[in-house]
Structure formats: C-alpha cells, structure tokens
Chains A and B, each alone.
Chain A
C-alpha cells in the first residue's frame, strides 16, 4: 500500500517568513495530492491540491510543487501570518483505490508575531 512521510513534524517561523513542508510517497500510481489545514479544535480543511499531470499550483500565498520522478511534493507558504499557525497534513491518493487517502503524520506550524 501507499506510505506517506511528512517533514518536519514541527516548524516555527517568524511572521513574514516563508514556510516549507515536504512529503514523500511510495506508490508511483498515486495521482492526487491534497493538503489539509487543521486549526486547534477544528476539522481538517482542504487548502490546496495538485494532480499528477501538473508540476506546480499556486493560490495567493500558498503553492504546492510535485516531483513525480522523485515521488515528493511540497507545500510553500509565503509571507506567513499568525493565522497560518495550525497543523498541516499532506496526503496521497492512489489511482486504483477509489478515493482512499493516505495521510502524512502532520506538521505543526507556529508563526511567531
């Protein structure tokens, strides 16, 4: 089955700096890679996703890059703000597994004002 590794597990940045979270996956058949943000006491919510036919996707201050050859993808947050503080989860979905997602272990991002 699929295995997703996520690094780092915690990340502390100064407000205004950039933050990068990296994930690797094991199954080359995976074709969809979402990122979820979970604020304290809230449900995980999708913030951006990328499909295997695209190498990069951007939405305002957040962007995701995908390297299919190396089987890794990354979340980039620029100009971080205190409200970006949350736990972020990456995930990978296999092409032959319906809508089953395999999640990474999560990254706790802290943005210091």
Chain B
C-alpha cells in the first residue's frame, strides 16, 4: 500500500548523541518535507526537498540536516542531540497539485 513510513516511532536518547530519523514514501512523490511539532501545537517547517539532490531550509531554524539521494528517502540527522530538540518530527510528501500526505511521526525525547 502506498504510504509514508517513519522510523523509529519513539526514541529516547542522551544529550550529545547523533541520531538519524528515517522517512520513506512509496507514492512516487517528488516533494518531501520535515515538520517539527510539539503535540497538538503548530506545525513548523524545518526542511523541504523538491527532488533528488535538492534540499532547502524551512521557516524554523533547525540544527538538523537532511539529504535526498533517492526519490523515496528523506532522512533527517541531528549531529548532537540536545534537550531542546525534544519534540515530534513529521515527514510529509506531495505531488503538485495534490495535497500533502503526512507520515505517522517520530516522537523524540532527549535526556
């Protein structure tokens, strides 16, 4: 079934660790996005990509980085996790002119 998958769903990690949040979509969409969201609160765009080898920073400043080597894969990396990175991270994809589809999210806690 065509969908967006995110792993892990939950992650608790210590300060200073490097982490990669995985996002894959099987819908063949060109455009992919990462949002940061505290539960039930506003969605903040932190990165987006219009296609392979294309990545841009979003509206919210983030210490994370992304890569887009394959159409279906858009991982997000934090080189050194801090407690301020504790949040939910949502991946999304879309194909113009249709809507964005969201993944189930990764809930990250940095201790």
Contacts and interface: CB of A to CB of B under 8 A. Distances in A.
Given A34-B99, A98-B31, A99-B94, A43 B105 contact: yes
Interface residues on A, range: 20 to 34
Interface stretch (A13-21, A69-77, A102-110): A102-110
Given A32-B97, A105-B42, A44 B48 contact: no
Nearest to A99: B94
Among A49, A89, A100, the most chain B Cβ lie within 10 Å of the Cβ of A100
A97 B36 CA distance: 20
Interface size on B, as a range, is 20 to 34
A6 to B, nearest CB: 9
Interface string A79-112: 0000000010100000000111101011010000
Interface string A2-28: 000000000000000000000000000
Interface in B23-72: 31, 39-43, 45, 48, 50, 59
B74 interface: no
A103 B43 contact: yes
Interface string B92-111: 00111111111111000000
Interface of A: 1, 32, 34, 36, 38, 40-46, 49, 87, 89, 98-101, 103, 105-106, 108
